[in-house]
Amino acid sequence: MIIKLANEVKVALVTAACVLGIAIIFKNVLHVKADFIILNSPVYLFIVYIITRGQAKKSKCDKPLYWSLAIIFVTSLIIALYSI
């Protein structure tokens, strides 16, 4: 049996994985104490997705894949900047 998830749930799961990933990598790998704003930056993109999804239904940017990739990109960028 295959369960079909809503688009918001898909993006929320990616966001949760990225927040956990940032926290684990910062604490265990980089040994850096990051600010609250930096640790929760994927959540801010998710909030933007929730707010703008009504207007985005008319455009091609409504797909959860694009938002998930943007969240993953921002998370990777933050980790890369702190690792330098």
Query: Does some domain include residue 6?
Result: no
pTM of the predicted protein model: 0.86
Query: Does some domain include residue 50?
Result: yes
Query: Does some domain include residue 8?
Result: no
* Number of domains the chain contains: 1
Query: Does some domain include residue 38?
Result: yes
> Residue 74's domain spans which residues?
13-83
At residue 29, does pLDDT exceed 70?
yes
Query: Does some domain include residue 3?
Result: no
Which pLDDT score, from 0 to 100, does residue 74 have?
95
**What pLDDT band is residue 2 in, cutting at 50, 70 and 90?**
confident
Query: Does some domain include residue 76?
Result: yes
Query: Does some domain include residue 18?
Result: yes
Query: Does some domain include residue 7?
Result: no
Letter string b/e over residues 33-63, b meaning 16 or more CB atoms within 10 A of that residue's CB? ebeeeebbbbeebbeebeeebeeeeeeeebe
pLDDT digits (tens, 9 = 90+) for 41-70: 999 999 999 988 877 666 777 788 999 999
